[in-house]
Each structure stands twice: as C-alpha cells, then as structure tokens.
Amino acid sequence: MKDIIIIGAGGVGNVVARKCAAMTSVFGRILLASRTKSKCDAIAADINQAMGVERITTAALDADNVPETVKLLREFKPALVINVALPYQDLHIMDACLEAGVHYLDTANYEPRDVAKFEYSWQWAYQERFREAGLTALLGCGFDPGVTQAYTAYAAKHHFDEIHYLDIVDCNAGDHGKAFATNFNPEINIREITQKGRYWENGEWVEIDAMSVHQGVDYPHVGERESYLLYHEELESLVKNFPSIKRARFWMTFGQEYLTHLRVLENVGMTSIEPIVYQGQEIVPLQFLKAVLPEPSELGENYSGQTSIGCQIRGVKDGEPRTYYIYNNCDHAEAWRDARAQGVSYTTGVPATAGAAMMLQGLWLKPGVYNVEEMDPDPFLKLVAELGLPFEEKINPTLAFD
Ligand SMILES: NC(=O)c1ccc[n+]([C@@H]2O[C@H](COP(=O)([O-])OP(=O)(O)OC[C@H]3O[C@@H](n4cnc5c(N)ncnc54)[C@H](OP(=O)(O)O)[C@@H]3O)[C@@H](O)[C@H]2O)c1
C-alpha cells in the first residue's frame, strides 16, 4: 500500500477519490487537495461516512504555487500525485514532484492560459529531469487521452503487424437536461473545440477550420450520430509511437442544440480568451462564461443515455488486410449509481485510478515521461474493466471510414 495525493476536487477528482478509496490493497493514505477546500471536504465526508473510517483527509492547495505544493508533498510524503486539476497546473505540479521526489500522473496535457494550444512539447521537455530523478511521469491517463492509447497499443500487440489508419470516435449520446453545459471543465472544453481541427496524414499535419469536416458514425448501442473532426492531443503521441500510421484522426459528436449555443456564444465574443476591461476590472470572457455555466460535477444526478468511445483501426495482420474496432460504452445513470458522477467524469476518473494502481504496483514505473501507449495495455485494461469500464471488440467489422 502506498500513499497518494489527488489534486483537484471537480467532477474527475470526485471519481478518482472514490475509486482509490475503495482499493484498500493498493492505495494507503489519501489526501485530496484543491483550490477550494470545501469541495474536497464534501467529497471526503461522503466517502468517509460510507466506509465508516477516515479514509480521505483534505487540504487547501493552490497548485500553481510550486513552493506551497512542495511543502505539502514533503509533509504528506506520497509516492504519487494524481493531478486532476486543470491543464494549466501540469508543469507547476511536475516541478513540485521533481523537487519532492514524487511520481506524477495527469489526464490532460499542459496548456498555457493565454494561448488556446495544446501539445506535448512542454511536458516531454521534462523527460531527462524525470529520468535522472528516477521518477515516472505518466501523461494523459484518462479515457481520451488515455484508454484510447491503451486500445491502440492493445490492437498493435494482439491484432496487427502494422496499423495504417486510426480513427478515434467519441460519442456522448447522453442528456443532462440543461440547455447548455459542458461535461468537463467548461473553459478547457470550449478552448478545445473552438480551435482549428487537425489530423495526421502521410507524415504531416493537415489543418481544417473548426467543425468544418463531419459525417455520421454508427455507434454501438447508440445509433448514428453526426461526428466532427477535431484535433485531440493523443494523436500527437500516437503517430510518434506508431510510425506505421498513415492517417490518424479524432471525431467527436455534438448535438445541434449544443452547436447552436456555441455558435451564438462565439459570435458575441463570450468564448474569447482575450482579456477585456469591465467596470474597471480585467476579465476574460471565457472565464466569465465558465462561472455562469453548470459545473461538470453538478450534471450527474439526472443524466441519462450513454457514452461510446473507441478506436476504429485498419492495417495488416499476417499479410492480410484487417479492420478492428475496440470500444467502451458507459451509461451515465450507472456512473451516478457507482460514483456519484456523470459518464464523462467517470470515464476519466476510472482510468486515472487504474493508471495510478499500475504505477504503485510497479507495473508501469520507468524513469522518464511517458504516454499511455508506451506501457503494457493488458493489465491496465483488465483493471479498467474491473473498475467499471470493460471493452468490447469487433474483428474485421465494416468501419465508418475508408
Ligand atoms: N483524458 C480525458 O479523457 C479527460 C476527460 C475529461 C476531463 N479531463 C481533464 O480532467 C481534469 C479535471 O476535469 P474536471 O471535469 O474534473 O474539471 P472541474 O470539475 O472544473 O475540476 C477542476 C478542479 O481543479 C481545481 N483547480 C483549478 N485550479 C487549481 C489550482 N490552481 N490549484 C488547485 N486546484 C485547482 C478546481 O478547483 P475550484 O473548485 O476552486 O475551481 C476544481 O476542483 C481537467 O484537466 C480536464 O481537462 C480529461
């Protein structure tokens, strides 16, 4: 048993706290730390009451403050930090982990606050420092990024000699009953989908206007949904780690209601990250918008429907062309029953917990900075299934894409 600190007490932090608390043979003492301590206290009180012991303690922490984070790490002495705060904190928490000698895991790659751009270069630049310190940093261990890379690694290990075409398909066919809300942090979510789309083809990145390429995709147990080509961070590491890939794309579904709201918000300037002066005070419109939207952790209770996320792959096996589809469907109502969360928080928090367990059990520890597909997918996907998200696979199906 090893001790951990979870940083971030939002939708995902809640799931990670509950799942880690339940795995008493792997996780020892657990400290839940975040900017707003009352959110940590509410989650911890619920878990501690249900378990009848003080399983989780809490602390206030501004993780952008590196000395404050180092102090907390040195006091609590965890083996690992699970960072489920926001991408802005990634580098600060990595710095603190290096200083205090603690392993690191996150679920989303670093983004600077003032540029809506996400890429791994900033975090990959920590490779030597983590290697020299004998510490492991595991990047992007949620569902996508995260499980989608483990699915690709699993496909490469068991079903293909070479992967040539990869389409990651992400459908949320759920209904939370709100006119407009995002399923994870609204600021990060809206930055992601309003930037230009990008995909990998024949050794280079092809850029497209945001949401300009879309098609219907038939999702298992859901049916056909319009799916939009976006840039998503795992494409960057996957094409690096699987150089046989000729084309890699990421598709996500959006309902018309969501897109209409988003278009209006964009048109009136509410999604901008350029600061403006309002009544003598500088505010960022997107941050103001986040403040008036529901929080991801508030959406769970009456959420119905399912998510369906997976990888559609084309390549060769034993000289023959092969197609393959590996995916998981997650029911929002079941996620609520299991972890008081909606499906998107759940599908992120479960793999983060499983990745942390892999690290603490020594199965996924190697000094340096790694993406999920660089680790053995088998024990991870087995544990992700045991924790609530089993995969299904189809060999040689008809895929949605040529
Ligand atoms: N890989 C995937 O599949 C996937 C999917 C969904 C989300 N994610 C990632 O998961 C992370 C959490 O998402 P979420 O939906 O849980 O977001 P959320 O509900 O907005 O929660 C974020 C939490 O981080 C805390 N926080 C923000 N700044 C902080 C700071 N400087 N120091 C300490 N704590 C800070 C927030 O505190 P306050 O309460 O004070 O605001 C909040 O508790 C995000 O990075 C998101 O991109 C990954």
146 close to ligand 1 (CB < 6 Angstrom): yes
> Of 398, 397, 354, which is closest to residue 376 (Cα–Cα)?
354
In this predicted structure, which of 17-21, 39-43, 347-351, 398-402 has the lowest mean pLDDT? 398-402
Q: Which atom of ligand 1 is nearest to the CA of 63?
A: 32
The response to whether residue 190 sits with its C-beta less than 6 Å from ligand 1 reads no
CA distances 269 to 118, 190, 265, 273, Å, are: 21, 13, 6, 9
Q: How far, in Å, is the centroid of ligand 1 from the Cα of 357?
A: 20
Q: Find the 341 Cα to ligand 1 centroid distance in Å.
A: 14
Q: What are phi and psi for residue 125, nearest 5 degrees?
A: -65, -10
Give the domains, in start order, of the chain with CATH numbers.
147-338 (3.30.360.10)
Residue 35 near ligand 1, beta carbon < 6 Å = yes
List, for residues 50-69, the tens digit of each pLDDT value: 999 999 999 999 999 999 99
Closest CA to 140 of 227, 228, 236, 63: 236
Residue 212 DSSP class: -
Ligand 1 within 6 A of CB of 368: no
For residue 89, name the pLDDT band (cuts at 50, 70, 90): very high
Q: Are 159 and 126 in contact (CB under 8 A)?
A: no
Is 349 a pocket residue for ligand 1 (Cβ < 6 Å)? no
pLDDT of residue 301: 84
The ligand 1 atom nearest the CA atom of 39: 39
pLDDT of amino acid 315: 98
Residues contacting 58, CB < 8 A, separation 6+: 31, 32, 33, 37, 40, 41, 44
pTM recorded for the entire structure:
0.95
Q: How much is the mean pLDDT over the chain? A: 95
Residue 369 and residue 124 in contact, taking contact as beta carbons nearer than 8 Å: yes
Q: Nearest CA to 64 among 33, 25, 103?
A: 33
What does the pLDDT look like over 312-344, one tens digit per residue?
999 999 999 999 999 999 999 999 999 999 999
Q: What is the mean pLDDT of residues 4-33?
A: 98
Distance CA 138, CA 376 (A): 13
Closest CA to 26 of 308, 355, 274, 339: 355
Element (H, E) at 216: strand 214-219
Query: Among 5, 7, 12, which is best to mutate for testing ligand 1, by the most ligand atoms less than 8 A from CB?
Result: 12
Angstrom CA distances, 62 to 16, 72, 189, stand at: 19, 11, 21
